[in-house]
Structure 1
Amino acid sequence: MLVKIIVVCLLIFMVFNLFRAMKIMLNGNPDQQQSMTKFIGRRVMTSALIMLLILLALAMGWITPNPRPY
């Protein structure tokens, strides 16, 4: 259950960074382009962290995948 809560929190953080980057992009201020890349980079790093956490949880047996339908 703890792994699922962590994954959901990381997903919320990823969406939050995506909207922060979108807000900077829509402002059109060329001075803040560095900030937009920072938020997009955080989003990419968060998604990589989520994938690694899911793979680690599967390998350690903390979560189990759905059984095959056949």
Structure 2
Amino acid sequence: MPNGVACTVSNCSFWKEGNGCNANEITIEIDQHSSHPYKEEFAGEEFGLSHQDQAKQSKATCCLTFNPKE
């Protein structure tokens, strides 16, 4: 794995053989915020985008870096 992040979502454009994530950076959010549109480029402090959350279990999180292969 190039960056040490394990992933089994083989239809992601960042997935590489051996269950590795080849993204330079990943974004992970808790599920309750996973539908937030992070497409804008604003200062996070001003718009509340730099929040910190706590997840009780890993299944309560999701990777927002996912980009399907074409």
TM-score range, shorter chain: under 0.3
Query: Under a length normalisation based on structure 1, what TM-score does the superposition of the two structures give?
Result: 0.27
Query: Under a length normalisation based on structure 2, what TM-score does the superposition of the two structures give?
Result: 0.27
Which protein is bigger by CA-based radius of gyration?
A: 1
Greater share of helix: 1
Greater share of strand: 2
